[in-house]
Amino acid sequence: MADLVHSALGPLQQARGGAKPHIDTLTAYFEAGCVAAEAARRLRLSVRALTYRLERIHTLTGTNPADPVHRYTLQTAVIGARLLG
């Protein structure tokens, strides 16, 4: 699990502000059923800001949160990161 978290989410460490805001974004996005407007509301962001973060995640990790195959990997890694602390 640690290897998955590191390989899938490790590139987010390069982001300004570190990985936490992006992991929080992914968490909210997945918990909202991948509905950007609902995830933005939960994070108290505009939909545009949330969409920018999702695009940034895609750029940094090479995985697209909107793609079902990539989403599974990212969601599993986010859950693993929570479990591992």
| pLDDT for 48 | 98
Length of the chain: 85
> Do 54 and 21 touch, CB atoms closer than 8 A?
no
Instruction: Tell me the pLDDT tens digit for each residue of 21-60.
Output: 999 999 999 999 999 999 999 999 999 999 999 999 999 9
- Is pTM beyond 0.85 here? yes
- For the record, the structure tokens of 5 come out as 């978290």
Does 3.30.70.260 match the CATH number of domain 2-10+18-84?
no
| Max Cα-Cα span within the chain | 33
What are the residue boundaries of the structural domains of the chain, listed by start? 2-10+18-84
